[in-house]
Each structure stands twice: as C-alpha cells, then as structure tokens.
Amino acid sequence: MASDRASVAGAGETQARMTRQQVLELFKRRENAYEDLDAAALARDYVDDAVIESPAAGVHQGREAAERALQAVFTAFLDLTVTIEHLIIDGDNVASVLTLEGTHIGDFLGLPPTGKRFQMPAVFFYQLEDGKIMRERRIYDFTGLLLQIGVLKAKPA
C-alpha cells in the first residue's frame, strides 16, 4: 500500500501531502475570505515563515507581513473582486489563474484615490506544506494596473 507521506528533498523528514479535496477546500476558504476582504483569514493560511512575492508589495515573509500587505490592498480597493478562472493542482503545487477587479477608492502605496476602475488577469503560484501556504508568487501587470487607475501616464506611441 502506498504511503500518503511524501519525502521532502534534503530535509530527511516526511510531510503529509494534501489530498486534492483538501486543496480544493483550502482554496474555497480563501475565495470566501477574498469576497469578505478578510486579510486576517487569508493570513492564517500561511506557515509562520511563508515567503510571498508580489509586484505591488515586493517580497515579504510571515503571516503578519502577509496580512498587512493584503489589508493595504483591501483598503485601497474596497470593492475588490477576485474571480478564480482555473485552479491547477499538482500535488502540493497549485496555480490559480484569476481576474482581479476593483475601484481605486483609498490610498494605495501612498497614492491618493483616483476613483478609477481596473481589471487585470493574474496568476498566483503556491507551494503548500502541511495544509498551509509556504510560498506564494503573484504574477500580474503592475504597470498596467497603475495605468488603469490613472496614477501612471503612458506616452502615445
């Protein structure tokens, strides 16, 4: 009978690999937390020393940093919606293809609100460990976001 424990390369220890259903439940919970703009609930899904890479917030580490970064986005875009288009699961690695939409209602990175809307596709990659997120890499067009909300002007071609 095959074990549901996977060996972590170089660690000399084993960790429980999440089932597909457990991964789906984790991301359904995250989807609900995004709907509620609940930064604290989202932050609870990270391991203590998680690493998050984001075009807007840079690289930050840990639950508290994750919560602060998420709260800053939620404060700036109070009507933010996150629509998951596809969730691709490969063991403890997950790719979430999504669309982010919202209106620049509050301060964002020191920039006053413009009242302009944005819509942008994104891909978030996750590495999971023991039911939590240990690494997250967010990929999206940050410059395009700044153009859409009117804080960056593009030169005509």
Question: In this structure, is residue 93 part of a structural domain?
Answer: yes
What are the structure tokens assigned to 98, written together? 């999504």
Of 41, 114, 33, 38, which Cα lies nearest the Cα of 76? Answer: 114
For position 62, what pLDDT does the model report? 96
Question: In this structure, is residue 4 part of a structural domain?
Answer: no
User: Is residue 134 within 8 Å of residue 114, measured between CB atoms?
Assistant: no
Q: What is the CATH number of the domain that holds 125?
A: 3.10.450.50
Question: In this structure, is residue 156 part of a structural domain?
Answer: no
* Residue 119 belongs to domain spanning: 17-148
Model pTM?
Answer: 0.86
The amino acid present at 92, given as its one-letter code, is D
Question: In this structure, is residue 124 part of a structural domain?
Answer: yes
Question: In this structure, is residue 34 part of a structural domain?
Answer: yes
For position 17, what pLDDT does the model report? 87
Overall number of domains in the chain: 1
Question: In this structure, is residue 10 part of a structural domain?
Answer: no
Question: In this structure, is residue 7 part of a structural domain?
Answer: no
For position 15, what pLDDT does the model report? 60
Give me the tens of pLDDT residue by residue for the chain, a chain 157 residues long: 333 434 344 444 556 789 999 999 999 999 999 999 999 999 999 999 999 999 999 999 999 999 999 999 999 999 999 999 999 999 999 999 999 999 999 999 999 999 999 999 999 999 999 999 999 999 999 999 999 999 999 887 7
Question: In this structure, is residue 8 part of a structural domain?
Answer: no
